[in-house]
Each structure stands twice: as structure tokens, then as C-alpha cells.
Amino acid sequence: MTQRDTILGGVAVLVGFVAAATGYVRAILAWIRGFAVVSVWIENDVVRAVTSYLHAQGRRGGGPRAYAAQTQYMRAHGHSEIVPYEEQDRASSMFWFRRRPVWVTKADKPLLDGHMSFRLSVLRSMLDPERLIIDACAWASEDLRQVRQRHHVTHHHGRSLSMDREGGRAPKAISGSSNLTVRGSARRLLCHDPEDIEPRPTLEGLDDMVMTTTVRGATEAIRRWFADRVWCVRRGIPWRAGFLYEGAPGSGKTSHARCVAVELDLPVHVFDLATMNNEDLRNAWLQMATDAPCMALIEDIDRVFNGDKNVAPPSGMLTSGGLTFNALLNAIDGIERHDGVLLVVTTNHLEKVDPAIKARKGRIDQVVHFGPLDHASRATLARRIVEDPELAERLAITYSNEHTSTFVASCCDVARRARYVSQVEPPINLGPMRTSAP
């Protein structure tokens, strides 16, 4: 062995010894640190809740800051602005909370793929990390108890449509919800009031909807079903319901489903069956079930299935995914039971709906006919839109044969014209005792 080999061997042994010693030292320091500091791992929504809570209730002691901005429509002012905000869950930070230090340290690598992992550390016997997490989640959940937050709409498309939109990737659910101004979103607005961006909306509920006697009865049945959750659970009864809305286009089927979801604060999952295959529907249905209680909405089923035959167009935007009727039945009422699902299926042609759906209790509990409104209902609806009671009565008579959507549009046109005339063409003053309208 040459002298050079001897030197290299000695260097290698020294490096190995130093590495081993460093590992032992780190382990000893971590062991000693454990006597003074308690550390736990937190992920995803817990990270957002804890960081927001510490920012709001404590004082930041150090660490890098991350700022971003987003163009947002200021609904309270009627124009768009660039809204700057601080991302509170992007980097490691130290906080002073109740005069005690709290460290939130970002992990070099998430514990699970697709997760956001942080280490929460507090001094032993000074703060309980579990109590801190519970208080932070309760604080972040306060808005959820005061404001409707569960209601949102998610659209499920099949592989054929998703591949066109996503360049060949797997099916994707598309949702339009935003969390820029949610209290527990771990974002701090710098110079804007959340109410300017997203004022609390006045949503249309079932009490605001003019309905026929049949639809009103179905509405009460849905309310009773929603209120029976505990009763069903105690008796082991499946807590689900299915309704088939049938009627001419514009008769209010979709509007009623929307009002039901708003009043009950249910997430709505809309299924585009025409673009789905069997696997797409199964995956989308399983994804929806994790959001229960929720509403599953299948619109215009007669455009996809005539009886048990798939009649979706073979080309174009509605490229058929080859969904079979049996796969649809298994999703609605198969071997896997999904409680908390309110199924609403709409159709313009009841005769095209297979009896396996419309006549099978457990899949569809009630077929609801959406017919034309009676005279009293039309007059009530018209009086909400136009101010003149006599004009509302005439509109109810004139449009007695129109569907609800056409009737509402006609009333709105008349109301706009009356408002425009009153603002643009005021009466002409011809003297102290004489006036004339143009």
C-alpha cells in the first residue's frame, strides 16, 4: 500500500468518524431539546387555522414574510382592484402568543404527497399544543357557523371532456369557490375590508319562490328528510332521498334545486353524464360522497338516456364517454351506501325516463311535476317585480299560458321600461295648474 493510499484511508476514516459523531450529537441534542420543547406535526387545514389564529391573537417575532396580490372585483364599490395580502402559511415563523414563544417550522419534505406539513413547537409546561390546535380550529370555524360556507357548486366532467381541457389528464372536478376572504384561509389582507370584496350575499331561498301546490308539497318532504338525520341514524335507516323533477323547459326545475341547496346549505355536485364513462361516474360519485350531506344534480337525463339506451351525441363538446345505464343505477343505489345524498334528477320528457329510475323507491322517492303557475301565484310574482298592482294583475292575465321563466322575463321587461320612462321622461310643467306627460 502506498503512502497516498494510507493518507486517503485515514481521511475516509476521519470523515466517517466525524459524520457518526455529528449524528450522535444531533440525537443527543434532540433528546435534550425534548425535555424543554414539545413538537407536533400539523398539516393542511390545521396549518391554515393555527397560523391565522397566531397572527390574529399573537405577535409575530421573526421569520421571512411572503406577500402576493390578486385582482379582485370590489363588489361594494363596483370596480376591480389589485388586493395585496400576506400568505401566512408559506414560511417558518416564530410568534409571541400569550407572552410565550411558539415556533411554526415548515418541513423540508411533506410527510404525505400533496400535503402541507409544518412542525408546531412550544415550551413544555407553558403551552399545550393540542389545546392550541383546538382553539385555533374553533376560532377559524366561527365564520362557518355564522355564514353559509358549505354551499358551493362543483361540476364533474368525464375523461373525454377533461382531456380536451386538460391536455390528456385525468377527469377533474371544477369548482368556482374562492377562499381569499375566508377567516381561516391563512391570508391577511393588507389594506382592504373583506366586506368590500365579498359582502354577505342575500341568497334566494325557498320562502321567496312562488310554487304550485305539488312543488310546495315536495319542498316540505325535502325539509322533513333533512331534519330526519338523527332519527334515521338511530334506526339504521338509509338517510338519502331522490326526487325526479319533470316539466317543460323554463318551469322552474333548476331554480327550485338551487333554492333547496341554498336553504339547506348543501354543496351541489353537477354530473355531466354525456361525457362520462363508467369509471368516471364511479370516481366522481365517490368524491361527492365525501362532501355529504350534499345534493347530486343530474340535469336533463333524457338527453343522455332514452330508457336504458345511451343517446348522447357521438361527437362535439358532448362527446359520449360510453356510460352504461347499469353503471348509473349502481352509482345511485348500488352496493355502496352513501348517506346524506339528496339526488335531484330533471327531465323535460318523463316518458323517456326508464322505470328503473322513476318507478323505483329508494332511487327516486317522488316524481315532482313542475306545471304552470295559477293566476294567484302569477299575480304574487308579478307584484314583486312591478310596483303597480293593477299592472301586475294585467300581466298575470296576459301571460297566463307562459312558462315561469318566460313570465318572469316579461315582467322584468315591463318593469324596466316603466322605470326608464319615469327617469328619462319626467312630466312637462306647463304652468301652476297644468301638467302633461310626454
Examine residue 293 and say whether the peptide bond preceding it is cis (omega within 30 degrees of 0): yes
Q: Where are the beta strands (DSSP E) in 110-217?
A: 117-123, 153-156, 173-175, 187-189
437 pLDDT exceeds 50?
no
Contact 54, 105 (CB under 8 A): no
Q: Which three cell numbers stand for residue 252?
A: 322552474
Question: C-alpha angle with apex 139: 134 to 143, nearest 5 degrees?
Answer: 135
The pLDDT assigned to 197 comes to 72
Q: What is the pLDDT of residues 91-148, one digit of tens each?
A: 788 899 988 899 888 887 777 776 788 889 999 888 899 999 999 988 888 766 665 5
Q: Which is nearest to 398 in space by CA: 422, 387, 382?
A: 382
Q: What is the pLDDT of residues 39-49, one digit of tens each?
A: 888 988 888 88
The pLDDT assigned to 243 comes to 95
Q: What is the pLDDT of residues 412-427, one digit of tens each?
A: 888 888 777 665 555 5
Q: What is the pLDDT of residues 145-158, one digit of tens each?
A: 665 567 888 999 88
8 pLDDT exceeds 90?
no
Average pLDDT over residues 275-290: 90
CATH class (in words) of the domain with range 203-370 = alpha beta
The pLDDT assigned to 30 comes to 62
Q: Where are the beta strands (DSSP E) in 183-318?
A: 187-189, 241-247, 268-271, 294-298, 305-306, 309-310
316 pLDDT exceeds 50?
no
Contact 105, 119 (CB under 8 A): yes
Give residue limits of the domains in the chain.
38-150, 203-370, 375-426
SS3 236: coil
Q: Which is nearest to 364 in space by CA: 332, 335, 336?
A: 332
CA distances from 338 to 23, 159, 285, 334, 377 (A): 51, 24, 9, 9, 37
Q: Which three cell numbers stand for residue 303?
A: 338527453
Range in 122-131, 172-181, 321-330, 378-387 with the lowest mean pLDDT: 172-181
CA distances from 150 to 143, 261, 342, 364 (A): 11, 10, 15, 25
Concatenated DSSP letters for 123-136? ETTT--HHHHHHHH
319 pLDDT exceeds 60?
no
The pLDDT assigned to 115 comes to 76
Q: Which residue has the higher pLDDT, 185 or 61?
A: 61
The pLDDT-based confidence of 163 (bands split at 50, 70, 90) is very low
The pLDDT assigned to 224 comes to 94
The pLDDT assigned to 176 comes to 46
The pLDDT-based confidence of 191 (bands split at 50, 70, 90) is confident
Average pLDDT over residues 166-184: 47
Range in 96-110, 227-241, 296-310, 379-393 with the lowest mean pLDDT: 379-393
CA distances from 27 to 17, 18, 34, 319, 367 (A): 15, 14, 11, 60, 68
Q: Which is nearest to 276 in space by CA: 149, 162, 181?
A: 162
What's the mean pLDDT when you consider all of the chain? 79
Average pLDDT over residues 242-266: 90
The pLDDT-based confidence of 165 (bands split at 50, 70, 90) is very low
pTM of the model: 0.65
